[in-house]
Structure 1
Amino acid sequence: MVKERLETDYEAWRRDRWDEIAGPSGKAGVVQLATITGSAQTVEGVPGGWDASDPDGLKFTAAGADGVSLDGRPVNGTVTLTGGSRLRLSGERTVAISGSEGVYGLTVWDPAASSLARLRGIAVFPVDPTYVVDAEYRRTPGREVEIERLTDPPTRHILPAPADLVFELAGQQFSLMVIETFPGNLLVVFTDSTTGAETPDIGRWVVLPPVAGDAVRVDFNEALLPLHVFSRAFPCPLAPEGNHLPVPVPAGERAPVHGESIGVREAMSTDLKDTATRYLRRLEAGDYAGMRALCTDTATVWHNDGKGQQTIDENLAMLKDGPAAEASLHYDIIRQFTEADEMLQQHVLCITNADGSVGEVQAAMYFRFRDGLIDRIEEYANFIPAAN
């Protein structure tokens, strides 16, 4: 019952998240960010001039030929803008204004941005109550930390680090530093054993609610991809030193799903091939938890060995405890074919035993997917013993 309620809440969260990223003025369409603090400032690619020195608001000056409008009226001269104002540029681009009192931010949004046009979805892990943890919120008043940001070139900034989260996961105790990227925004930037393989190498985020006491519930099912993944305009922070979990956290967002506007089918095909390949690479590494995270709860496995069908958990237990666990495995993938939610693959599995002998399995493997996860595996294999 807990999982069903969690899944319902999570689906609502995912809809809101998709609207934030790909909806009207979504983050994936942001092509430029700028800060205005001067009295005679220009912004590359944006017509007109800016003046943040007036106490009444941000002054913007443009000629009628610049093609800029405010509230549907062309700007031909100087207008006063405040936080929440929005200018319309040529080509349907918009500039959103934020800030006040001499410090203003500009966010340029373009509906034709390739980062938005190619975005088809956000791949996620299955919802798992295991990754909802109650953490101790250990306050560290006055602490600051130097954080690297993804600017070009990279820059480093000093940010408040008001607390540490201390919690248990996978039978171990961990601690993650909390940073405050702007007043009231409590962010946990972390990496884990999925980083660089199933999730971006720049880590992921958990945004914390306001914390009044000394405890907070942390839901890794709502772990976010950094905005930099969707648009290079965002100068996202990297994880503070030490904010690494040496265990996989197969929860939350995994990766953006991209495809050309005329190639959605091809993008889906590529994603299925990638999932199947990552499943086998995790088997090579002996990462059974990572394999499990790529499968549905009801996934089944069948081999042409006469032993019948297994659940995915039975199959992984067999692999973990079987002789192959002591050997070195490598899958040489020859070809892959996809059709809708199905994939057929031909490969050769090379097995190097502990004594140095080498054997191989020539096989065809069928994958069926549900919601981007593996739901059925069938393998037709011919084992060729190790040479003496």
Structure 2
Amino acid sequence: MTTTEARDVFAADWAQWHRQKEARLADPHGFLAVTSLNWLSREPQRFPDAPGGWSTGPDGVVVELADGEELVVDGVTVRGRHAFGVVPERGGSTAVWGDAVIEVAKRGGHDIVRPRHPDNPLRTAFAGTPAYPPHPRWRVTGRYVPFDAPRPTTVGAAVDGLEHVYDAPGRIEFELDGQQFALTAFPGHAPGELMVLFTDATSGLTTYAANRSLRAVPDTDGSVVLDFNRATNLPCAYTDLATCPLPPAENRLPIAVEAGEQTPHERGIR
């Protein structure tokens, strides 16, 4: 395979990955469908984009549905009072209401309700996320160095005053353009996967100011690929109705990583 053919294959693989990522984002009940972010308290509250009165307490989240209101939870239609129970941090569940989905979750120690409606204008007008053209130079192999024990790491959030705490299992050391760097890694969504949050010299210029995210899976020998071409925006890049974590201070790269997703059209350049 010639160098040109290899570049074409690399670009095609990236394009397929990005199409799949965009499809998940624009799913009828994906994050672009979120219409409100509601913080629950002991006092029942009603919201215009969800049925029922919602509250939380020591036994978890409860909804009180009025006459004529109903939700479908785990395939079962519920009416009246329904207890969702205690929601774990960064966990959650959903209930179906017509063509909408009501997300019940816990973020930063707070129970929240986020309705997701397919006809939300943010979703229906979505035209895709701009990104740098993929280039192999931004795909580097580093080394995963686990900590002796996971380190509780507190980071800020897209919502003022909110904090997230992650048990960081280690860091990823790598070289780029002749310079040595290290990024603290957090647990990913899948077993064995790591999530790396970072900013760089493009942040706030061509890329979203607050954060971008990379997924990485270390091999058994500790080697790990960081493909900055696949640096993605978190939901907070598209909407203020997200509680995304910010990178730890040590993950602010001093170089310009001109790879991966750029600032969404929905935000404009800031």
TM-score after normalising by structure 2? 0.77
Q: Is the 8 A contact 1:120 1:258 kept in 2?
A: no
Partner residue in 2 for 1:240? 248
Q: Is the 8 A contact 1:64 1:74 kept in 2?
A: no
SS at match of 1:174: strand
How big is each residue's C-alpha offset from its partner over 1:343-384, in whole Å with a ceiling of 9 and x where there is no partner?
A: xxxxxxxxxxxxxxxxxxxxxxxxxxxxxxxxxxxxxxxxxx
- CA shift at 1:234, angstroms? 1.4
Partner residue in 2 for 1:128? 135
Q: Of the candidates 66, 91, 99, which is equivalent to residue 63 of structure 1?
A: 66
- CA shift at 1:143, angstroms? 1.6
- CA shift at 1:223, angstroms? 0.2
Q: Of the candidates 50, 61, 77, which is equivalent to residue 80 of structure 2?
A: 77
- CA shift at 1:149, angstroms? 0.8
How big is each residue's C-alpha offset from its partner over 1:110-132, in whole Å with a ceiling of 9 and x where there is no partner?
A: 23334324321100110101111
Distance 1:129 1:181 in 2: 24
Return 157-166 or 174-183, whichever deviates more: 174-183
Q: Of the candidates 170, 173, 187, which is equivalent to residue 166 of structure 1?
A: 173
Partner residue in 2 for 1:6? 10
User: CA separation of 1:126/1:183 partners in 2, compared to 1, >3 Å: closer, same or farther?
Assistant: closer
Q: Is the 8 A contact 1:29 1:231 kept in 2?
A: no
Total equivalences in the alignment: 251
**Percent identity between the two aligned chains:** 25
Partner residue in 2 for 1:228? 236
Relative to its length, the structure with more helix (as a share) is 1
Distance 1:211 1:154 in 2: 37
Q: Of the candidates 15, 20, 35, which is equivalent to residue 16 of structure 1?
A: 20
User: CA separation of 1:51/1:176 partners in 2, compared to 1, >3 Å: closer, same or farther?
Assistant: same
Q: Matches of residues 76-225 of structure 1 in structure 2 within 5 Å?
A: 76-79=79-82, 85-88=94-97, 92-97=99-104, 106-140=113-147, 141-151=149-159, 153-180=160-187, 186-209=194-217, 212-225=220-233
Distance 1:190 1:115 in 2: 25
Distance 1:172 1:6 in 2: 25
* Residue type of the alignment partner of 1:87: V
SS at match of 2:127: strand
User: CA separation of 1:42/1:160 partners in 2, compared to 1, >3 Å: closer, same or farther?
Assistant: same
- CA shift at 1:63, angstroms? 1.8
What is the alpha-carbon root mean square deviation over aligned residues? Answer: 3.5
Distance 2:14 2:224 in 1: 18
- CA shift at 1:158, angstroms? 3.0
User: CA separation of 1:44/1:202 partners in 2, compared to 1, >3 Å: closer, same or farther?
Assistant: farther
Q: Structure 1 stretches of 5 or more lacking a match?
A: 260-270, 275-388
Q: Is the 8 A contact 1:133 1:219 kept in 2?
A: yes
How big is each residue's C-alpha offset from its partner over 1:130-153, in whole Å with a ceiling of 9 and x where there is no partner?
A: 1111111011123222211111x3
- CA shift at 1:211, angstroms? 5.7
Q: Is the 8 A contact 1:193 1:249 kept in 2?
A: yes
User: CA separation of 1:159/1:76 partners in 2, compared to 1, >3 Å: closer, same or farther?
Assistant: closer
Distance 1:236 1:63 in 2: 33
Q: Structure 2 stretches of 5 or more lacking a match?
A: 86-91
* Residue type of the alignment partner of 2:157: R
Q: Of the candidates 29, 47, 52, which is equivalent to residue 48 of structure 1?
A: 52
Distance 1:120 1:86 in 2: 28
- CA shift at 1:198, angstroms? 0.6
Distance 1:73 1:143 in 2: 41
Q: Is the 8 A contact 2:53 2:63 kept in 1?
A: yes
Distance 2:200 2:168 in 1: 20
Distance 1:145 1:28 in 2: 29
SS at match of 1:19: helix
Q: Is the 8 A contact 2:32 2:239 kept in 1?
A: yes
Relative to its length, the structure with more strand (as a share) is 1
How big is each residue's C-alpha offset from its partner over 1:244-285, in whole Å with a ceiling of 9 and x where there is no partner?
A: 2222211111122249xxxxxxxxxxx9xx8xxxxxxxxxxx
Q: Is the 8 A contact 2:217 2:225 kept in 1?
A: no
Q: Is the 8 A contact 1:48 1:60 kept in 2?
A: yes
* Residue type of the alignment partner of 2:97: R
